[in-house]
Amino acid sequence: MPKESEWTLVWCYPSIFYLGVILIEPWYWKPLSVLQAKSGGVKENTRLSEFLTTQHFMENLLVSAGAPYGKAVELCFTRLEETETRLGREGFRSKLYENIVYPLEEYLNSFCGVSDLAAIYQG
């Protein structure tokens, strides 16, 4: 099991990590805390235990949700092959959009016939 100090080597940006959590929770219809208890892993509420919980459920998510959704979510928990992870950096934002946001928009379009969340609520 990785030590808390190793945590920073695994995941690079808190907002992106929690985007992944937000995308896992509705898939399983459970908050991360409930999934954490079901995973049989670490019980304390730490970033490391949250990470281990997401990894426990990723394999099933990749199979059940399909590649576009699963891969986009998985990338929220890994590095985007960028050494600089500031959202203000254009290269990082481009990688984030290309590898996470765009596949999620495509998935939404194939699922609902729209790629804009506002359009779902309007019609």
State whether residue 43 is helix, strand or coil.
coil
79: its two tokens: 């590095």
CA distance 117 to 120: 5
33: its two tokens: 């805390």
The predicted model scores a pTM of: 0.75
CA distance 83 to 109: 31
pLDDT, tens only, 32-52: 888 888 766 556 667 778 888
Sketch the domain layout of the chain as residue ranges: 9-122
pLDDT, tens only, 13-33: 778 888 899 999 989 999 988
CA distance readout (Å), 107 to 15, 38, 97, 104: 21, 27, 14, 5
